[in-house]
Amino acid sequence: MSLDVAIAGAGIGGLTAALSLADAGFEVGVFESVPELRALGVGINLLPHAVRELDELGLRAPLEAAGVCCGELAYFTKRGERIWAEPRGLRAGYRWPQISIHRGTLQMQLLAAARARLGADRIQLGMTLDRFESLAGGGVRAHFAERARGAASHAVEARLLVAADGIHSTARRAFYPDEGPPCWNGAVMWRGTAEGAPFFDGQTMIMAGHERQKFVSYPITRAHDSRAQLNFVAELRFDATRLDEREDWSKPGRLEDFLPRFASWRFPWLDVPALIRAAGAVWVYPMIDRDPLPRWSFGPVTLLGDAAHPMYPIGSNGASQAILDARVLTGCLRHYRADPERALARYDEIRRAATSEIVHANRRQGPESVMQLVESRAPDGFAKIDDVIGEDELHSIAESYKRVAGFSVAELNARESLAAPTA
């Protein structure tokens, strides 16, 4: 198979790249390591700048139908005291919503669209990127190990290789063999979904606690008979920062390891321990990232998504930034169609700087830092939040993060598509 672009990885970033590049007229093939793609995972949030890009690919309507348009993000203390809330998505003045949705549902919608538009034969499963080399006359030859045939290798030649193969990327390891394991900040997350009564208006995302103990929840389906699927993350931070084993998104968690710490978190608007117990399963995962890289693109090969910039899941930015990567890559390739390696270099220049800022901002807790500020200033509670932190300071923290992450309202509503030809 000879392609314009070979993509390693059929996650959210890889599939968005495939759809965007195919829409721009490139011949694309996607190669995914797992033998079967299933709707796995828990909930995620797509920020308005990411929804805008998916809207341009014709996917907004099915995403809105499958998820919930988040209208508010509200912060609380560990006692359930309200710190503040900010409007989100359409309520905040964006032209696009913020969508809370099950990650597996999003991936399956992207996969269905990619199969329909590229052709089912252009998405090959059970193919793990093993190695690659640049070709003398330009382009790249990528070798994929075929799981179904043991050690058998399948070679693919393309003008470009986009490695969207996750935090343990083969391509990243080839370019940075001495990087070592991901960085862990000592926090562990227990994630799950459960049916429950939506809190507040059914479109609110809540965060409660502080940097040592936090609970996040939001609906990922619309309410039916006063019930909805609620996503949650229970997070505890420990003093250790060395991982004893490789992380795994599908590792089952044990309630006894974290539920006792949340036993008293019963608020008038949410019974946290009851929601946790209602989950059919819970998965445990350490909060990890990697240090920003000095370079992503090497000749005809580049990195995308978690392969390029894994970041702490703070500020709802992981999947959204992978989508933005895909669209900027498309814009650069449309402009430098005759010089694809120049396109990859330009994509590197644009996205690496932007995502590096977000990685560092997330390490500082991003917009969630307001909870720790209140905990530090008023650990025993407060009569009025204005006595602890002012509206101006809260607003400044939120707006600063939006600028860093690229979704300030005025900027997003005014700019052109990221997939437009980019010089």
Q: What is the pLDDT of residues 346-358, one digit of tens each?
A: 999 999 999 999 9
Angle at 101 between CA 97 and CA 102, to 5 degrees: 165
- Exposure of 28 by Cβ count < 10 A (0-12 exposed, 13-18 middle, 19+ buried)? buried
How far apart CA 242 and CA 182 sit, in angstroms, is 10
Angle at 94 between CA 92 and CA 100, to 5 degrees: 80
pLDDT at 315: 87
pLDDT at 92: 97
Query: Is the dihedral angle over the CA atoms 340, 342, 348, 351 positive or is it negative?
Result: negative
CB 358 within 8 A of CB 404: yes
What are 289's two structure tokens? Answer: 């990232």
Residue 205, φ and ψ in degrees, nearest 5: -100, 130
Q: Which residue has the tokens 């420990």?
A: 238
pLDDT at 226: 86
Query: Is the dihedral angle over the CA atoms 200, 201, 202, 203 positive or is it negative?
Result: negative
- Residue 129 in domain: yes
Question: Which amino acid, residue 374?
Answer: V
Rounded to 10 deg, the angle between the 391-405 and 340-363 helix axes is 160
pLDDT at 382: 95
Query: Is the dihedral angle over the CA atoms 103, 422, 304, 119 positive or is it negative?
Result: positive
pLDDT at 1: 53
Residues of the chain with pLDDT > 70: what percent? 98
DSSP assignment of 83-118 = EEEEE-GGGGT-SS-EEEEEHHHHHHHHHHHHHHHH
Question: Among residues 274, 273, 218, which one has the least CA distance to residue 85?
Answer: 218
Report strand pairing: 82-87 vs 127-134.
Answer: unpaired
Question: Which amino acid, residue 304?
Answer: L
Residues of the chain with pLDDT > 90: what percent? 90
- Residue 393 in domain: no
Alpha carbon of 231 to those of 200, 221, 272: distances in Å? Answer: 15, 9, 12
Where helices occur in 142-245 by DSSP H, the ranges are 170-175
CB 325 within 8 A of CB 32: no
pLDDT at 76: 98
How large is the average pLDDT for residues 271-294?
Answer: 96
pLDDT at 378: 97
pLDDT at 149: 66
- Exposure of 73 by Cβ count < 10 A (0-12 exposed, 13-18 middle, 19+ buried)? buried
Question: At residue 150, does pLDDT exceed 80?
Answer: no
The rounded mean pLDDT for the chain is 95
How large is the average pLDDT for residues 198-205?
Answer: 94
Question: Which amino acid, residue 150?
Answer: G
pLDDT at 247: 73
CB 252 within 8 A of CB 226: no
Q: Which residue has the tokens 């977000």?
A: 358
Question: At residue 245, does pLDDT exceed 90?
Answer: no
- Residue 333 in domain: yes
- How sure is the predictor about 224, in pLDDT bands with cuts at 50, 70 and 90? confident
How large is the average pLDDT for residues 265-286?
Answer: 96
Question: At residue 238, does pLDDT exceed 70?
Answer: yes
- pTM (2 d.p.): 0.96
CB 287 within 8 A of CB 211: no
pLDDT at 171: 98
Cβ count within 10 A of residue 212: 15
Count of domains forming the chain:
1
- Residue 150 in domain: yes
- Residue 35 in domain: yes
Task: Decide: helix, strand or coil at residue 336.
Answer: coil
Question: At residue 254, does pLDDT exceed 70?
Answer: yes
Q: What is the pLDDT of residues 18-33, one digit of tens each?
A: 999 999 999 999 999 9
How large is the average pLDDT for residues 182-194?
Answer: 95
Question: At residue 174, does pLDDT exceed 60?
Answer: yes
- Residue 411 in domain: no
Query: If you count DSSP H runs as helices and E runs as strands, how many of each does the chain have, helices first?
Result: 11, 19
- Residue 51 in domain: no
Cβ count within 10 A of residue 173: 14
- How sure is the predictor about 64, in pLDDT bands with cuts at 50, 70 and 90? very high
Domain CATH code at residue 8: 3.50.50.60
- Residue 285 in domain: no
Task: Decide: helix, strand or coil at residue 258.
Answer: coil
Start-to-end CA distance of the chain, whole Å, equals 30
Question: At residue 240, does pLDDT exceed 90?
Answer: no
pLDDT at 151: 62
Domain that holds residue 127: 2-40+104-179+291-365
